[in-house]
Amino acid sequence: MPFSIIKTYIDDCVRLGTSTPYSEVPIDAGPYLSRNSKLRIVRKFLHKYFRLWLGGQHALHRKSIPHNAKILWLYTSKKTFGDANLELSGRKLLKDRGISIDVLVCPEVYPLFKEDDIFEHVFTNLNEIERSQYTHIILSEYNYKSIKLKIKHFKNVPYSCLFGYFDGPARNQFYFSYFAINDYFSLKLSPENIIELARPYISSHTTLPYTLRQSLLTHPLIAIGVGGIDPGRTYQNWPELVNLLDEELSQKGNKKLNIALLGAPDAYESADRIASIPLKNITVISLVGKTNILESYQVLKKAGIYLGCDGGLLHIAHAAECFTISIFREHDYSAFYVPGNMHCVSFVAGSNANNITAGTMLPPLLKHLCIDTF
């Protein structure tokens, strides 16, 4: 076989694994390609390709999903709220279109979707599902778990794979989801319309306890995401920022403000450091470890402004349509995680989130707070 043919084949495999068919989806393949040889990428591609071929799946793939199909979306490979929120967000385009769609997710992300208004049923176990009713399967991507699940339990059912063989490079996951849904369901929305609509999506009818609602809304409210597992993505300058903000409020005639602190139980120490500051005009309400994911979403909807590092809470804040001030480490991934139609503010910290000073965070916060209108 001529070398030129082999090279063309290798390049095609790499292209399928590291690019999207939608030019509007931001992607940064450079770092991934620098860490992985073309041979490694081709090997991963061929492994998936031949698993599908041996399982008789190639002839069942469909580029278009019938609107009258009974659909099951298999999403069982990601266990974090952040990834699940972003990669399933394109379902928003299916709302009120009369499309019957269920989803199978990992138990870890079930709380995010348990009140969903687009998925008719949200399953966490195959034993809960009457498998014979489905006429079409959706895979988010080709990975070993999803391929195995499809072949073993839905071998003869037509299917579509939204992200295809794409695997690895940083990309805007929710743009990718929206563009793929628009494509596979033949919705015929223009790229401009999709970009205007695209953002993480959460549906919830959860209500906060009455006393909590009352305490949050005694004054204008903002929310801060505290704590974190990765020290480099854990911001320690919140106490200084809150203190600077309190001084600004004093200079504006002692205007009052509430701050809700959100985070997992590992953030108790960070929350205590903020709550222990003597403040004149700010009431700190620590909800760390006290709210579930949908309750946090409701708090963010009431807050309207969220400050935090890159992570799951940031994506939930965008679903709640908050203005966000966020910190990214090393790379400016705001184009991948911040909806372009929301005009939020982000900072790139380098090796450690704490390289961004409180004084740097304060001006955009003051500008958006509009303290004079309190």
Quote the CA–CA distance of 331 and 334 in Å, as a whole number: 9
Please state the domain extents for the chain: 3-197, 210-373
Residues 6+ apart with CB under 8 A from 22: 175, 176, 179, 180, 183
Beta carbons within 10 angstroms of residue 133's beta carbon: 10
pLDDT, position 351: 85
- Greater pLDDT, 175 or 330: 175
pTM, two decimal places: 0.92
* 23-63 pLDDT per residue, tens: 999 999 998 999 999 999 999 999 999 999 999 999 999 99
Give me 137's structure tokens.
Answer: 């399967």
Average pLDDT, the chain: 92
- Greater pLDDT, 39 or 337: 39
Q: Confirm if 122 and 103 have CB atoms less than 8 A apart.
A: yes
Fold of 3-197: Rossmann fold (3.40.50)
- Asked if domains 3-197 and 210-373 share a fold, the reply is yes
Element holding 138 (H helix, E strand): strand 136-139
Which of 22-36, 80-94, 245-259, 328-342 is least confident?
A: 328-342
pLDDT, position 372: 63
Quote the CA–CA distance of 254 and 123 in Å, as a whole number: 51
Work out whether strand 122-123 and strand 100-105 pair parallel, antiparallel, or are unpaired: parallel
Q: Residue 24, CB half-sphere, CA atoms under 13 Å: how many? A: 17
- Greater pLDDT, 339 or 302: 302
Q: Confirm if 256 and 295 have CB atoms less than 8 A apart.
A: no
pLDDT, position 329: 79
Q: Confirm if 10 and 38 have CB atoms less than 8 A apart.
A: yes
* 181-204 pLDDT per residue, tens: 999 999 999 999 999 999 999 999
What 3-state class would DSSP assign to 70? strand
Quote the CA–CA distance of 178 and 199 in Å, as a whole number: 9
| Core vs surface per residue 201-218: b (16+ CB within 10 A) or e | bbbbeeebeeebeeebee
pLDDT, position 315: 93
User: pLDDT-derived band of residue 163, with 50, 70 and 90 as boundaries?
Assistant: very high
pLDDT, position 342: 76
DSSP letter at 230 equals S
Quote the CA–CA distance of 69 and 80 in Å, as a whole number: 29
Element holding 314 (H helix, E strand): helix 312-319
Residues 6+ apart with CB under 8 A from 290: none
Q: Confirm if 163 and 83 have CB atoms less than 8 A apart.
A: no
Quote the CA–CA distance of 270 and 277 in Å, as a whole number: 12
Q: Which of 313, 253, 266 has the alpha carbon at shortest distance from 112?
A: 313
> Is the pLDDT at 77 greater than 90, yes or no?
no
Percent of the chain exceeding pLDDT 70 equals 98
Residue corresponding to tokens 């200084």: 240
> Is the pLDDT at 123 greater than 80, yes or no?
yes
Output the 3-class SS for 91-102.
HHHHCCCCCEEE
> Is the pLDDT at 1 greater than 60, yes or no?
no
- Greater pLDDT, 252 or 334: 252
What mean pLDDT do residues 293-306 have?
95
Which CATH number applies to 210-373? Answer: 3.40.50.2000
Residue corresponding to tokens 């995401």: 225
